[in-house]
Structure 1
Amino acid sequence: MKIAFVANEGGIMKFLKRAAAVGAATALLSLAGTSQAGATTYTGADCSGAYPCLVFYYNANFKGSAANFVGYGKINDLAGYTFATSGSGKGLSVKNHAASSFFIAKTADETAVIYYNSNQGGACDELWAQGSKQAQANQLHNTYNNNASLKIFDGSQASGICYQF
């Protein structure tokens, strides 16, 4: 009987090790998928029907080159991103060069906040969909040509401290 138990124990140990390896791999894949799905990503020149989408323009009134950011999450420093479409400003850094912005939401409560400083600090402009699934800033107020970071989130969380469009 003892021999049968030892043999069974070895089979159980193999099963447990295999189950743990599969579980760990599944957990890692799950985490990787979550972080990618929950991140704001730079798409350059086109949202391609992805929402929510924040578009920065080099000039006021939605003119000049554009740069698009899609999804929920934040960008701590806009220095590594450039205006991608044709027009004035193409190829320049988005950081401290955006004059206007347009926000297209997936739901009526999504919000995009543009910050004066890196890491979501300082004065800010808030584009809140407020039921219309879009918000626009013909000319940014607090972050006009002084925009360093952004955050896009779901929910009507009007901050009360940002200039609201």
Structure 2
Amino acid sequence: MEGWIVSEKRAEALERLDVFVGEWALEVPDQPAPPDAGEDVPVARSWFEWTLDGQFLVQRSEVKVPGAPDGLMIVSADPETGAYTQHYYDSRGVVRLYAMSFDGRVWTLTREAPDFTPLDFGQRFTGTLSEDGNTVTGAWESRRPGGDWQHDFALDYRRLG
């Protein structure tokens, strides 16, 4: 069983995610900053770290905007294919499952249909990691059944420290 869990494809896929480890400021360029936002302290932050002997990448997000949820995301890689799955949980009680890809440069998260919550729309995030690995420039899109993808909001990650 151990060989099934620790496969070469899975190990390579997980290693590719190491670039995310650390603390990031989250910025929504489409939205004005809240009036009480300080210049030195980001309104939203995200931390990526390995857990359970490096078998899963955990992302925690904290958002200091009323009504915006904090989140916990756990990324796993399939032992046979290396394909990623992101398990999403937030402070509203929302649970979602995303297919994820990352080729070392372009990061995507896709949810085509409702899953654990009765929200009848698809979601997709596409972000591009900068050459220096210190920013991800991206955007979320949504789509109603049978419709086209529509821009929802831009979301950028900026490495801190």
TM-score range (shorter-chain normalised) is under 0.3
TM-score by length of 1: 0.26
In terms of fraction of residues, the more strand-rich structure is 2
Bigger Rg, which one: 1
